[in-house]
Structure 1
Amino acid sequence: MPAPYATGPTVVDRDLETLREQLGRVPRGVVGIAARCVCGRPLVVTTAPRLDDGSPFPTTFYLTCPPAVQAVSTLEAGGLMKEWTARLAQEPELAAAYRRAHEHYLAQREALGRVEEIDGISAGGMPTRVKCLHVLVGHSLAAGPGVNPLGDEALALVRPTWRPDRCSC
């Protein structure tokens, strides 16, 4: 199933201005908008695997929408990463699905270019641990439901405070 909010790689000047506002800094390495808010503003950006300064950047899908970032930060503050990392060791089906999410992430980044320093390294702790829920949610929003199981779970958990089908910009 395609991602319901994904819109393709087109980035316009208005997007870069919005990203600067959302991030509070000049955005780096933006090569596409992986998902948009229903109002059209960037929700998740696609970043180059190597930034303009030459440094490798493994985070292909970067969650930028401040209300979404805040909602996910609240989950992180609750300690879910440790709990979900333990689940990966106890639930073989979840671990296998998470490994597939890791492989999908790598393939998406590889399509943008190969960077040896980060070869085989995805983001968010994949495939063996949960390090950053923002990355997992960004991946879920960019790829669509069913690709990243923990990103999908995190999206379900933030639904009472933030939803991708309602503008909160």
Structure 2
Amino acid sequence: MKPAEWPQQPEPVTEADAAAVRKQLGRPIRGAHAVAWRCPCGQPAVIETEPRLPDGTPFPTTYYLTCPKAASAIGRLEGGGVMKDMNERLNADPDLAARHRAAHEDYLARRAKLGDVAEIAGISAGGLPDRVKCLHALVGHSLAAGPGVSPFGDEAIDMLPEWWQRGSCATGHTEPQEDGA
């Protein structure tokens, strides 16, 4: 799966976006700075989050994947052992390791534009820079940054089904999909 519009320019979070994410997550969004990537169904799918939440909590996950259909499909990848293979390749391929570390640096640079939070300095997400720990975080970063920035996020995106094909994840009007997404 390759989204047609990838990457997109971040957009301010509207009241409708906040309501959609509330339906997706089952709770209100916290610390949202922008919609970093909108699903082809039109709903927010990746929220760019402030590095410090409104209650003062440091929050290192700058790109928060909110779409439950995408998250479910990614969970199936993780459950299928994809990360084990990725970690083995990461440890065996110095070029891939360098690109994964560059993704970490990109993540930190993007977060720094939103603010400096000393408690999370040098901490990114998804296992960066030394391992692959959470494909949800890597896919969120990849969708926000665009192809070629996060090698494992890009790979995971290539493996995902077109989860948006049978309705929006935020309207309650979805149809069951054969692939389970």
Give the structure-1-normalised TM-score.
0.91
Cα separation, 2, equivalents of 1:27 and 1:83:
33
1:37 Cα offset (Å): 1.3
Q: Deviations over 1:91-139 (max 9, x none)?
A: 1111000111000000000000000011001000001001100000011
1:18 aligns with: 20
2:130 matches 1:128: yes
1:79 Cα offset (Å): 2.1
Specify whether residues 145 and 154 from structure 1 end up closer, same or farther in structure 2 by C-alpha distance, changes over 3 A only.
same
Q: Write the letter of the residue equivalent to 2:31.
A: G
SS in 1 for 2:13: coil
Q: Structure 1 residues 127-136 or 39-48, which shifts more? A: 39-48
Cα separation, 1, equivalents of 2:80 and 2:123:
26
Q: Deviations over 1:56-103 (max 9, x none)?
A: 110000111111111101011112222212211101111000111000
2:47 matches 1:45: yes
1:151 Cα offset (Å): 0.2
Aligned pairs for 1:1-169 (under 5 A) are: 4-158=6-160, 161-162=161-162, 166=165, 168-169=167-168
Percent identity, aligned pairs only, is 54
The structure with the largest alpha-carbon Rg is: 2
Question: Does the CA-based 8 Å contact 1:35-1:45 persist in structure 2?
Answer: yes
SS in 2 for 1:83: helix
Cα separation, 2, equivalents of 1:109 and 1:151:
17
Question: Does the CA-based 8 Å contact 1:5-1:37 persist in structure 2?
Answer: no
* Gapped regions of structure 2 (runs ≥ 5): 169-181
Give the structure-2-normalised TM-score.
0.86
Q: Write the letter of the residue equivalent to 1:155.
A: I
Cα separation, 1, equivalents of 2:100 and 2:166:
29
SS in 1 for 2:60: coil
Q: Write the letter of the residue equivalent to 1:133.
A: L
Question: Does the CA-based 8 Å contact 1:67-1:168 persist in structure 2?
Answer: no
Cα separation, 1, equivalents of 2:99 and 2:73:
24
Question: Does the CA-based 8 Å contact 1:124-1:133 persist in structure 2?
Answer: yes
Question: Does the CA-based 8 Å contact 2:7-2:147 persist in structure 1?
Answer: no
* Gapped regions of structure 1 (runs ≥ 5): none
Runs of 4+ in 1 over 6 A off after TM superposition: none
Q: Write the letter of the residue equivalent to 2:63.
A: F
